[in-house]
Structure 1
Amino acid sequence: MAVLLNLITLATAVAFASVAHASSSLQDATADLQHARNLLARYQLIDTHVDTPQVLRVLARQPLDMLPDLNISLPGQFDLPRARQGGVGGAFFTVWTPCQDLLGIDVGQDFQQPDQTIRDTIESIDLIREMIDYEPSLQYATTAAEAEQAFSNGKIAALIGMEGSHMLGNSLSTIRILARLGVRYLTLTHTCHSSFASSAGGGAGTDGSFLRPVHPGNGLTAIGRELVKELNRLGVIVDLSHVSDQTMTDVLDITDVPIAFTHSGARGVNDHPRNVPDEILARIGPGKNEGIIQSVLFKHFIDSNNATIPRVVDHVEYIALHTSRQHVGLASDFDGMGEVVEGMEDCSKWPSLVAEFIRRGWTDEEIKGLLGGNLLRVMRAVEQAAYRRRDERPSSAIYGKRTDLPASNWGGPNGAYLPGKVKAIVDRRHLRDEL
């Protein structure tokens, strides 16, 4: 009987201990989540990749008619009620049009096939600007200072990023105009090559394979190098998410301005071509390129078999280990992916991710940088670099495979629209070409 009583007593003690431990763990988790919410209220979270404009264009023939729903409810992963619930303090809304191959258009290896990409790009920028003007809780920003001011005003800073140089129509003039319209970063490629740069391919919905090269070296082209210099001059952040490893290398070889990966993971954690390889991480950090790598929440970039919040933090910590905690940030790819990280199904879930960093011992100051402080540093550095280049002339380079310049065929029938001396020059050129 005594033995039985002892066993019962022991079992009871173990049960109480288990309950007490579970209760303590629950209390800790609750405290971490509240701490995370407090930090998000105090420090500005800037998500560098939100594809909501795409959702509006997909859902409506007249996308502007969808604007009232942004502050009510949208069926995607981002709308303003959930953004406020998640503590979002700023977002780069992304200008994106599909690579032409997704639309069944073969641009060929010279990228000369006409398409409607520039029209769709302008419409997407217009949609974002109208969205900002319509919604009073958004405040337009083009600089770090303006983004911070929006947060101080209790609003969500709304900035514009652009995903893919295939939208430039093979022209540097296009990016100069788009920068004036508010574009503040350009992802050099999406899942397709462009006349400017080589892509890694392997985007959402793919098997993760690298894209077949078309450019010599599979990196930047000659006009692509001019594009990077022009972005530095304009104060537009060069985004290396989606690009090939050689494009990453080529950019880091020619720029002294901080770059960004706006939505990428670590290849050392998950071997996917969309993630950043160790040899590139080794070139970013204190005393190197002072850029930033922002997280991503697409399941297959994180881990197809273990796409969880702790695994996202594994990526960020791996990148921080190879760079520093001042060179990492948070981003999502909300509204641009079908499969998300478990627990991060939409923009209301940010406190859960921040709580995991708290559990792992990140200080409040480090989390301040992670949420947006590190990104704001990069933005300021890019702005300062542009100011130093303010007297530089724009690049006059054109894509070498273009055949439409000089625009001799613009003269009308028999050159009727041209001044006489101009027509004479054109006629002599035509004669010379014929000979």
Structure 2
Amino acid sequence: MKLLTWTLVLSQLVNAQQGIQEEEDALYSRAIKLMSESPLIDTHIDLPQIIRGLGTPLDVIPQLASKLPGHVDIPRMREGHLGGAFFTVWAPCANQVLNQEYGADFLETTEGLRDSLEVLDIIKNMIKQHPEHMQAAFSSKEIRAAFANGKIASLIGMEGTHFLGNSLSTVRLYAEMGVKYLTLTHTCHSSFAASNGFGPPLESSNHGPGLTEFGKELVQELNRLGVMIDLSHTSDQTMRDAIDLSLAPVIWTHAGARAIQNHPRNVPDDILRLIGDGPGQNPGIILSVFFPPFIGPSPETANVSGVADHIEHIASIVGRDHVGIASDFDGMYSSVIGLEDASKYPNLIVELLRRGWNDTEINNVMGENLMRVMDEVDKVKEDMKDKIPSTAIWEKRTDLPADWGGPDLVYLPYDVQDVVNSRPKHDEL
């Protein structure tokens, strides 16, 4: 009799386990189906810095089709059913990584602008050299076209303003070259805005806790250019200033909820309440990151379920039409459990399905919300098409008007020499 009882219990356990596995298989199949119908767009992948670090970049790019160290290569993007990706133009904060100082007014020269141009060149060559897998996109319409063609829609974001040479001219040129979002700071302050750093307390900027006057000009210029304003990494005051000033939706391309994990890189609830569909709110989007220190206090909580917790908390405040997905792959030492690399995106969709998100909500969090924001940013650009470029310069610069006349101003016409010679001479010059 006891043997019969134990046999029955064991049979029930096996059947229960089989039922759970069948349910999981069904959820996974449903996730893959949804991902085949609507693009999952990751707004922050740092693959270019990996390529730059592995060797001479243009020699490394062909290897993207096989296997690269790190989190991302074409086979894993394909396995993960990735529909679109923003690859980031970035150069490190030189005072934090390269032992170079910017000075109190950010006027010391570094190689940041050169390096960022080289990273942009890497991205463009990645796309050009792998046309069977990647297709350049600059709008929601072009994302949909690439997805319909079975390609990974490939877009360009820029992370930080510290390498822009204190110039709006460089911003305008990057926009012409295809940059679709600009993060207002990285882990260091700039002439445009104050940063929240990476984790340890960051010494306050000499130029205020938020946007500088020059940074306010940048926000308006980004609106005019149709470049999305990314508030990841920025100080809380920079976030507030930009939300208050921007005519277009703002974005966080890789952040979490500070209420879930108290980290300065995550967004506090009082700022989340400024985002949404209500009166006076900015209709932007917060895209949730996979970096363990931003997700949970322990390895056990820094997992795919933890990422979903952040998405759901953010959505509980801003609404499910204002959330999205952003890995930060290849820009961190490790990703969370269950989302270890670019092959694992379906696990997050399965987790949201398990929590009761319907098909429309899944499509929205994967990419429809982001594409709606892109369309609204483009509409603001169209509305501002007759506005002339900002003439603002960083007030601390001493190189303008330019002193390029050569010995005895020989390179200048006489009447221009007269103008130059009539200028007041400053003691510091």
**TM above 0.5:** yes
Give 1:17's aligned amino acid: Q
Residue in 1 that maps onto 2:224: 233
Q: Deviations over 1:194-215 (max 9, x none)?
A: 110010002xxxxx23322114
My pick for the range that moved more, 121-130 or 11-20, is 11-20
* Larger helix share, 1 or 2: 1
1:41 aligns with 2:32: no
| AA at the equivalent of 2:283 | E
Give the SS at the match of 2:343: helix
Question: 5+ residue gaps in structure 1?
Answer: 203-207
2:172 corresponding residue in structure 1: 176
Match of 2:250 among 256, 259, 268: 259
Amino acid at match of 1:75: P
Residue 413 (structure 1) aligned with residue 407 (structure 2): yes
TM-score by length of 1: 0.95
Residue in structure 2 matched with residue 185 of structure 1 by the alignment: 181
Task: In structure 1, give the amino acid aligned to 2:276.
Answer: G
Q: Which has the larger radius of gyration?
A: 1
Per the alignment, residue 146 of structure 2 pairs with 150
Query: Could you tell me how far 1:27 is from its partner in structure 2?
Result: 1.1
Give the counterpart letter for 2:196 in structure 1.
A
Q: 2:358 aligns with which of 363, 367, 386?
A: 363
Query: What is aligned with 1:335?
Result: 330
CA distance in 2, matches of 1:316, 1:209: 25
Tell me the equivalent position of 2:23.
Answer: 28
Is residue 2:284 matched to residue 1:291?
A: yes
Structure 2 segments unaligned to the other structure (5+ residues): none
> Over aligned residues, Cα RMSD in angstroms?
1.3
The aligned residue for residue 66 of structure 1 is 60
SS at match of 1:218: coil
Equivalent residue for 2:90? 96
Matching residue of 1:165: 161
Q: TM-score, normalised by structure 2?
A: 0.96
Residue of structure 2 in register with 1:205 after alignment = none
Task: Evaluate the alpha carbon distance shift between residue 255 and residue 431 of structure 1 in structure 2; reply closer, same or farther with a 3 A threshold.
Answer: closer
**1:301 alignment counterpart:** 294
Deviations 1:183-242 (A, max 9, x none): 00000011001110010002xxxxx23322114541000100000000000000000001
Where does residue 140 of structure 1 map in the other structure? 136
| Residue of structure 2 in register with 1:384 after alignment | 379
Among residues 69, 87, 91, which one is paired with 1:75 in the alignment?
69
Q: Does 1:220 align with 2:211?
A: yes
Give the length in aligned residue pairs: 422
233-242 or 136-145, larger mean C-alpha shift: 136-145
Structure 1 residue 343: Cα displacement? 1.3
1:9: how far off?
Answer: 4.4
Provide the C-alpha distance between the structure 2 equivalents of 1:214 and 1:375, rounded to a whole number of angstroms.
32
Q: Which amino acid aligns with 2:237?
A: Q
Residues 45-99 of structure 1, C-alpha deviations (whole Å, 9 max, x = no match): 1110011110010001x20111111111111101111101100011001001000
